[in-house]
Every structure is written in structure tokens, then in C-alpha cells.
Chains A and B, each alone.
Chain A
């Protein structure tokens, strides 16, 4: 199940519980019941403890999985990504200047990446912030990193699914933001 779906369902579950509790309490406001403050307090502490324990479990489960690798394993292939209003230059060679970027964007060969290999995307921008994203052949967002002027961000990914991948811009960058894109193939 994609991460998105899990996250959505977790949220939905909590949202339904919250709504149900508010609904029930709202309904129960119609009868006179005396609640002792001590009981409310006990309940409050209980709930807090439960949620904090849940949080710690969540952290223990998710924090080791952050998308920032720690080990400098040798990537099998390096791909260079340079954003500029309103296109992504994607190539197997770097494009440090506007001229080279234009070359890639206008005449560059589409990049083909091998499957099950560690790919390093070296992402930067020549003007404003852009968002480099990976949309898989089913148009599911599978990861992203910011393309920042003056910085080199390194995203590592191992593709398992072959097909056409799309790059959409995920940081608002001006009036052509929604048109800004790129593509590559995984074989």
C-alpha cells in the first residue's frame, strides 16, 4: 500500500474517532449528568499518556526511515537535475550554466535509467526554488526534494517499476509553475 494511502487511512481513523466523540458528547449534553473534575482529570491524563505512547511508537517506526541516507554507498548512476523557470533539465552530465541547461532542455536525449540500481539525482536550481518530484508510471508521487539555488541536494532512489516517469514542480516558482516538468524512463 502506498505511504499516501496509509497516512490517509490513519488520519481518517482518527478523524472519525474525533467526530464520533464530539457527536456522542454533544448528544449526551442533553441529559443532566454531574462529572467530577477529578474524573475528568484522570481521563485527561490517560488520554495524554496513550497519545504520547502512540507518538513514541510512531517515531520509533518512522524516524529510522527518513529519506536522508547516511551511508555514502557508491551510486550506480548519477543523474543531474537543474531547475529553471519553467523547465527541469535532466541529463547524465551536469549543466552549470544557462547555456548548457538550454541545450539539455531543448535538444537533450531523454535519460534512461536502469532498474534496481541506486540512482543519485544531483538537484539544483539556476534561479528560484523549485520542487523536484518523482511521479511513477501510474502517476503516484513517490518522492521529492527541493531544487534550491546555490545548493546541491542529493536524492537517492532505487526504481523497481519500469516505465515513463514524470517530474512535476512541487515548489511554487511563478506563473508557469504548473507547466514546469521533466521526464525520464526506467528500463
Chain B
């Protein structure tokens, strides 16, 4: 009797799970709201980024010189940001730590788009994020004219908000292959490791035949395929496995229940 109750409960649970969970994750990583003016990678795909000097506290180099050592993950920030910049760096850092490959497959270049930022400011930002002196995270500044060029070359925009004394801007992470060509944009402050893995793959020179576009409020995404790590179990994948798992459990239960009858029935086995 108890078993039957339990099974009914599981079934009801399974049936309502999508509804319940759908509400829960609506604001989660799958759905990034599509604002107008979000940089669209399709307009810039495979274009070459212009060169620009990079000033850090320790040295002076340039984007192209950095590219000589391998692909770059590139993003634009400003240190006075009260909004998206710091959370994005944090999210990127945790995703990168999960995926690995930093330093061998690619490095990360964080440039300021604010002419007021000095290399010291960028170094401070690195310190805040616990990345001070990290050999593969490069926090730097560049010249005002270079900022203009870079911003135009990736469809980035800046909108001063005088009220809040802030600059509105999108959060975009850009994958550059070793030729300095744009292979992928990741839009939004939270970096999904699965998506980042695709960018890294592509930067490394592997072809990613398909990927999800930024979408609104997707209930469950399906396969989160991670380079080198195989399939990751997420809600969508779990739903796909659910019929099989429930069937397995259900069949075992049916035959377990049958055992009583088999014993009591005449001619049973």
C-alpha cells in the first residue's frame, strides 16, 4: 500500500515538476533578456579586431602581440562601474576555473573603455577580484582613439547616465582566435560554463556546429555539452532521462508486486 502511495506521489511529482521548476529558473542563466541594442555577433563574425596598445601596471604591449601567444577572451569594462562589470568578471572567473585551459589554450584580456581609467585602476580591479598578478588575466588600458576603434569594431556602445553618474553599457565577452578574428560573443553578466566551453573550443580551432542564441525565459535547455567533459546533467537532460528512469523503476516495481501473486497462485513460477 505504501509503495503504491509513493509511486503515485512520484508520478504527480514528475508531472508537475516542469511547471514548478519552470517558474523557478525563469530568471536563471538560460534566459538572458534580449534588450534592443545588444551586440549581435552575427554582424561581426570572423572580422578582425583592430590592434591597440595595452598598458598594464607592469608593462606595455599590444593586442596583436598578445595574440601571438594564442587566442584571447576579450571584454570591455570600466572600473567605476556599479553595475555589470564586476559580477561579470566574477562569473567569468568561476566559469574559467571550472573549465580549465586558461594559459594553455587562451588568455583573458580585460580592457577599460573609460579614458579616465589608469593602469593602477585596472590593477585595483584585478585585486578586488582576486586576480592580482595572475599571469593569464591581463587587466589594462588603451588610448582614447583606440577605445573608439575597438568599440566600433565589435558593435559595443556606451551611454552616459548623468543621473546615476554611471555609463550604461552591455556586458559582452568576445572570443578571438589566434588571428584576432571574432568567433563568438557571449552576452550577459553571467557566463554559463557550457557556453564558454563552446567559445574556447572555437578559439582553439575546433568547429562548433551549432549553439543556442541568447533567448528569453527558456524553461529547460537540453544538452549542455561541455568540451572535454561530456554531457552535463541539467534539468532539460534530466527530463529527457526521466521516462527511462521512471520506466525502469516502474517495471521493477510491477514485477516486485507480481512476486506475491506468483507465490500464492497455483501453477505459478
Contact = CB atoms under 8 A, between A and B. Distances in A.
Interface residues of B, number: 23
A78 B202 contact: no
Interface in A91-130: 93-94, 96, 122, 124
B234 to A, nearest CB: 16
B181 A151 contact: no
A72 B40 contact: no
B212 A151 contact: yes
Contacts of B218: 150
Contact of A153 (B46, B202, B210): B210
A151 B179 contact: no
Contacts of B177: 72
A80 interface: yes
A74 B178 CA distance: 11
B207 A70 contact: yes
Interface string B175-217: 0010101010000000000000000011011111111110100
B46 A150 contact: no
A94 B42 contact: yes
Contact of A151 (B42, B43, B210): B210
Contacts of A74: 46, 179, 181
Nearest to B43: A94
Interface in B195-245: 201-202, 204-213, 215, 218
Interface residues of B, dominant DSSP: mixed
A172 B211 CA distance: 22
A156 B209 CA distance: 9
Contact of B46 (A69, A78, A93, A156): A78
B45 interface: yes
A71 B202 CA distance: 9
A68 interface: yes
B213 A72 contact: no
Contacts of A68: 207, 209
A154 interface: yes
Interface residues of A, number: 21
A111 B165 CA distance: 47
Contact of B202 (A72, A93, A96, A124): A72
Contacts of A96: 40, 42
A101 B43 CA distance: 14
A150 B181 contact: no
A71 B42 contact: no
A25 B83 CA distance: 79
A76 B125 CA distance: 40
Nearest to A80: B42
A153 B211 CA distance: 7
B205 A78 contact: no
A152 B210 contact: yes
A122 B207 contact: no
A78 B47 CA distance: 11
B43 A71 contact: no
B210 A72 contact: no
Interface in A140-167: 150-154, 156
A78 B210 contact: no
A150 B213 CA distance: 5
Query: Among the interface residues B201, B208, B209, which one has the most CB atoms of the partner chain A within 10 A?
Result: B209
Given A72-B177, A72-B202, A94-B40, A151 B45 contact: no
A150 B207 contact: no
Interface of A: 68-75, 78, 80, 93-94, 96, 122, 124, 150-154, 156
30 contacts: A68-B207, A69-B207, A69-B209, A70-B206, A71-B205, A71-B206, A72-B202, A72-B204, A72-B205, A72-B206, A72-B208, A73-B207, A74-B181, A78-B45, A94-B42, A94-B43, A122-B42, A124-B213, A150-B213, A150-B215, A151-B210, A151-B211, A151-B212, A151-B213, A152-B210, A152-B211, A152-B212, A152-B213, A153-B210, A154-B208
